[in-house]
Amino acid sequence: MSDRTDVHPAGKTASRARADSRIVADGDRYRQRCQAAFRILISLYGLVWIGNAMFEAGSWLFGPPAAARHHLIGVFAGPAKHAPNWLKPALESVSHGVQAVGPHAIAIIMVAISTGLGFALLGRIALRATAAFGFAYSLALWLVIEGLGFPYRQTDPGVLPVYAITFLFILAVCPLVKPREREDLSRFPNSLWTTARILFGLVWLFDAGLKWLPAFMFHFMKQITSKIPGQPHWVAAWLHIVAHIISAIGPTLFAVIVAIIETIVAFSLLSGRGMRFILPLAMAYSLGVWCTAEAFGGPYTAQGTGVGGNVIGNVIMYMIPFLMLTAELFTRYPSMSRQTVPAGAKRNTIGGRVAEAQDTA
């Protein structure tokens, strides 16, 4: 006599149907939450580009003509001074080209592109084409304006790779935010999303590697004190307080803590593990760097910001990819954690579709 309790096929089918309907409903709610979160973040990124356009226009178009011309030429000529020999001829050619075309014309083009990207992101207009162009444009600026980040000393390879990676994240979420007809929404997170996450992790790994070098470990205090000159009184007073706290803890110990945090964040992004715990840590850390080592992005002048003309700072740009990763992670539908899918069923991340495994004899 068998101890197995037989289940009537009709009852089993009804149970699976109810479970499937719950998963479909959960998937729809998840998709709606993701769409809302990503649309807000894409609009926020559009505001960043509009802010950058305002800084660029104020520095290159609306200032005294001679000063504006000198400043823009310096933006393109500066990277060649620190570039390695194999890169220097290309950067010098770009600088000569800017002078030949005319700095004012180049400034108008760059401000127009930044403005166009900003409003296209705000309105989610031709989002795929906008994100693809923004990705290529950010990489081009990384080459000609940041000189691929050289020289690498104590910090990241530049902020523009993060701009490009953010566009890659936007390309990855286009199927959710602007779905095409008959587009399969079940394949999210997709391979492009994973690629963006890994590239973001590589940026953090590169930065973390620099933090373990003696140049950072034994000169950590300069990261704070070098930002004090030229700041408003309240910012300078705040940075003096931060410097005293670091001195009390020990600059080298503080530098080791910073290096450990960045290394942990990098490996979490690369592996995709521990993200629920690491993402809040990474965002808090980024805000901490922004309000200390970056001095809130200041000083703010007609020539831009204290961190190369990027709106409100470099590290603060890391927040948008982190928020995108957080939106995907924390808006996953509840049945993913409750394991309500029947045995033998496979659940996709989004869309509520269930693929039943074939019954084996």
The owner of tokens 């020990």 is 250
Instruction: Confirm whether 95 is domain-assigned.
Output: yes
Instruction: Confirm whether 8 is domain-assigned.
Output: no
Instruction: Confirm whether 105 is domain-assigned.
Output: yes
CA–CA dist 350, 333 (Å, integer): 8
Instruction: Confirm whether 50 is domain-assigned.
Output: yes
Instruction: Confirm whether 125 is domain-assigned.
Output: yes
Instruction: Confirm whether 304 is domain-assigned.
Output: yes
Range of the domain at 71: 19-180+190-334
265 near 285, Cβ under 8 Å? yes
Query: What φ, ψ does residue 356 adopt, rounded to 5°?
Result: -80, 135
Ordered per-residue pLDDT tens for the chain, 361 residues: 455 555 555 555 666 665 556 555 555 666 777 788 899 999 999 998 998 888 888 878 887 778 778 878 888 888 888 888 899 999 999 989 988 998 889 989 999 999 999 999 999 999 999 999 999 999 999 999 888 888 776 567 888 899 999 999 999 998 888 776 555 555 666 889 999 999 999 999 999 999 999 888 888 888 888 888 888 888 889 999 999 999 999 999 999 999 999 999 999 999 999 999 999 999 999 999 888 888 887 776 655 554 454 556 677 789 999 999 998 887 664 433 333 334 444 444 444 343 333 333 3
CA–CA dist 34, 38 (Å, integer): 6
What total of structural domains would you count in the chain? 1
Half-sphere exposure of 184 (CA within 13 A, CB side): 8
191 near 270, Cβ under 8 Å? no
Instruction: Confirm whether 91 is domain-assigned.
Output: yes
Instruction: Confirm whether 341 is domain-assigned.
Output: no
Q: Is the dihedral of CA 223, 155, 163, 105 positive or negative?
A: positive
